[in-house]
Structures are given as C-alpha cells and as structure tokens.
Amino acid sequence: MAEEECELNEKQKREIAKWFLLNSPAGEIQYIAKDLRSVLNDEKVYNEAASEAFPLYNKSHLIFLELPNRSGDVLVTSYNELEENEFLDPRTALVATVDHVKQVCTDVRPAADEELSSPYIEEFRCALDAEMLKYVAEAYPKGICSVYCVDGKDVEGPGSNFELVVVISAAKNSPQNFCNGSWRSVWNIEFKEDVQMLEVRGKLQVGAHYYEEGNVQLDAKHECKDATIFQAPDDCAISIANIIRHHEAEYLESLEASYSNLPDTTFKDLRRKLPVTRTQFPWHNTLQFSLTRDIQKELGIDK
C-alpha cells in the first residue's frame, strides 16, 4: 500500500524532470538531460519535459549557437525571438531556426523587411553594435554580443522614443576540469527624444559551478541604472559603451573583493555566532580550547 501511495503519475514526473533541467548549471543541461532520460526510463515523459524546459533554459541562459553557413553565431534570447524556434540576428539580417533540445541551428533564411528596424533606428543600433563588439572582444574573449530594437523599430525619424537592448553572453566550460562558468548581462537603453536623455538599466548575472569532489555553485545577480544625454548615433554609442564598461568592471571588482574576504567573513558566518557558552568564538586564539579538557570538566573527571 505504501509503495502505491509513493508512485508518481506522469504529470508529477514531468514537472520534476522540468525542474531539474531548468535548474541545470550553465553549460550542463545536456549532461542532466542524459541522466534524467536514464532515470525516467519513459521516453514520452522525458520528451514532454525536454520540449518545455529547453527553450526556457536556452533563452534564460542567453546561449549562442553557430549559424549553419558559419557566418557567425546567433544568440537565443526573448529579445530576438520571432516565432517559437526562430531567432533574428540583426547584424547579418538572418533568421536562424533553432532545435532547442539539441541546441543547434538547423536552418537559416534572410530576414524579411518587416522583421528589421527602420533605417533611422538602424543608425543607432549599428553604431552601438560596433562599439559593443570592440568592448566584448577586450573584456570577454569567449563572449558574444548583439543589439536589438525592442520598441519603436518602425520609427522613421527624430521625434519619437525607442528602446534598444544590448545582450552580452560569455561562457567558459571545462568539464574535464570539473568547472563551468558563465557571464550574462542585459542592458535596456531607452532613447527619450522628448527630454533628450538616454536611460540605461542593466541586469548582470554570474554563474559558476565547481564539482570536483564536491558541489559548489555561485549564482550572483546585480542591477544598476545610469543615464546620459541624447546625441548623434556614434556619440550615443560611445557614451553607452563607456557606461556599460564602467558598471561591469565595477561589479567584477566587487566580486573579486568579496571572494578574497571569504575566509574572514562568509566562512566564519557559517558557524554559530554565539555557541552554547553564549560567548563569541575567539578566532584569533583557538589554541586555548581543548575538547578533551572540556569533556573531562563536564563529566567531572580529574586526571
């Protein structure tokens, strides 16, 4: 009777499998999927879970895939998604068809005119794209970036507001050394011509996984805001790139500083601040403590 009560139905199995897939560390979903497939031993449940989880995982992790014609890479994000499996690469004006579960591009076609931004918006987008390419090449050797218009792509000239998004994704996977890591940043830039200002909002995320004789994961997130004045396309691009460079460098420096202080801060905080003696543990002089002496005292044993 107890065994029957513990039996999971197909829906429960599918939801559990989806949870494991969606929570896979960066670059490791294929390994998790292989193990899940074996554990489930049910192709129907696995395929349903994978078809739902992989697209969400790919877009949230900002993965990038090589185009079939080797003309470059395409980012898989919610910002350039046209249809369920189609993603625009504005730099090459190509649309890639993606197999989410296999994580490969299966086809490519030229983008239609209505899928691209107006010539006026393209001036700003292309100028910013060029600056971001230079920045990413310097800061993230294994990274990729793209710039998308997410609002006002049909604006034909001055006088209307529009919004661009810069997406940066970098990954360094080294499973043979039991470690993988990723950097993801998304920058929304609102071009407000009515007040001649640009508002910049950034969301940064760092993930790392070390699993040699253990399992240690990092998932750090940070948000920031900034602003600059509305200028010509090239000048806007330089100002935005400088803002992004400044905030990302500042965040990386703060992460490095926190890591260097881990032994003196975080690791100590993992212990009880006030043990049963109700006194702070003297980390500066641990030799004064003797477990044997304390036990003897507690039991009333004299030597």
**DSSP per-residue codes, 61-92:** TT-EEE-TTSS-EEE--SSSEEETTEEEETTT
176 burial (CB, 10 Å; 0-12 / 13-18 / 19+) is exposed
When the pLDDT of each residue in the chain is averaged and rounded to a whole number, the result is 88
pLDDT at 295 over 70: no
Q: Which CATH number fits domain 117-263: 3.20.20.210, 3.40.50.1220, 3.90.1150.210, 3.30.1490.20?
A: 3.90.1150.210
pLDDT at 176 over 70: yes
CB count within 10 Å of CB 173 equals: 16
Res 241: pLDDT: 98
Its CATH architecture, for the domain 1-60, is: 2-Layer Sandwich (3.30)
pLDDT confidence bin for 151, thresholds 50/70/90: very high
Residue reference for tokens 């007040």: 195
pLDDT at 292 over 60: no
Res 178: pLDDT: 87
Poorest-pLDDT segment among 1-5, 58-62, 130-134, 138-142 = 1-5
CA distances from 233 to 14, 124, 127, 244, 264 (A): 49, 5, 6, 16, 48
pTM, two decimal places: 0.83
The answer to whether 89 and 105 have CB atoms below 8 angstroms apart is no
Which residues are 51's β-sheet partners? none
Segments of the chain assigned to CATH 3.30.1140.60: 1-60, 64-113
Segments of the chain assigned to CATH 3.90.1150.210: 117-263
Query: How far separated are the first and last CA of the chain, in Å rounded?
Result: 58
3-state secondary structure 123-188: HHHHHHHHHHHHHHHHHCCCEEEEEEEEECCCCCCCCCCEEEEEEEEEEEEEHHHCEEEEEEEEEE
Res 142: pLDDT: 87
Question: Per-residue pLDDT tens for 16-73?
Answer: 999 999 999 988 999 999 999 999 989 999 999 999 999 999 999 999 999 887 778 9
Average pLDDT over residues 245-249: 97
Tell me whether strands 86-89 and 81-83 are parallel, antiparallel or unpaired: antiparallel
pLDDT confidence bin for 3, thresholds 50/70/90: very low
Residues with Cβ < 8 Å from 25, sequence gap 6 or more?
A: 180, 207, 209, 217
Residue 112: both structure tokens together: 């239609």
pLDDT at 179 over 70: yes
Average pLDDT over residues 239-266: 86
pLDDT at 216 over 50: yes
What distance in Å separates the CA atoms of residue 94 and residue 30, rounded to the nearest whole number? 27
In the CATH hierarchy, which top-level class contains the domain 64-113?
A: alpha beta
CB count within 10 Å of CB 23 equals: 13
Residues with Cβ < 8 Å from 240, sequence gap 6 or more?
A: 128, 131, 166, 187, 189, 198, 200, 228
Res 16: pLDDT: 94
pLDDT at 5 over 60: no
Question: Per-residue pLDDT tens for 117-126?
Answer: 999 999 999 9
